[in-house]
Amino acid sequence: MINYNDFPADSWNDLEVRKIVREEVKAEIERMVKNLAKAINPQDTIEMVRCKDCKYLDITNKAPVYACCSKHNYTFPLWEEDTRERFCAWGERKENESN
């Protein structure tokens, strides 16, 4: 772990110091993520299906509607075309989809 007191206050503008700190912070975040991943019990997790992979998403692309979800009657307006990041608790993966 980096000791920030090792660097005088006037050295923070030094690119080399900033690079050292950035790498140390990155390494610490990676350690934290690995520890978190070890702590998660796979039995306590569920598969999340994004809207783009869900069998209930019907892309109509007819104004003013881009797509509809038949499972919970949600309508995606045209300005919400990007369904890649959306998800819900009821999603089910399309058949023959592995992603």
Residues 52 and 97 in one domain: yes
Same domain, yes or no, for 26 and 73? no
The pLDDT tens digits for 40-97 are 877 777 778 888 888 988 887 777 777 888 888 888 777 766 766 788 878 889 887 5
Q: Are residues 76 and 54 in the same domain?
A: yes
> What DSSP letter does each residue of 13-59 carry, written as one string?
T-HHHHHHHHHHHHHHHHHHHHHHHHHS-GGG-----BGGGBTTEEE
| Residue 1 banded pLDDT, cuts 50, 70, 90 | low
Write out the two tokens for 96.
């023959």
Confidence band, pLDDT 50/70/90 cuts, at residue 31: very high
Looking at the structure, tell me whether residues 81 and 51 fall in a common domain.
yes
Domain count, the chain: 2
Domain, as residue range, for 22:
4-44
76, 66 in Cβ contact below 8 A?
yes
| 25 compared with 89, residue with greater pLDDT | 25
When comparing pLDDT for 35 and 70, which is higher?
A: 35
> Residue 12: its pLDDT value, please?
63
Q: Are residues 60 and 97 in the same domain?
A: yes
pLDDT at residue 81, rounded to an integer: 66
Q: 65 and 34, same structural domain?
A: no
- Nearest in space to 57 (alpha carbons), one of 72, 66, 68: 68
Shared domain for 78 and 39, answered yes or no, is no
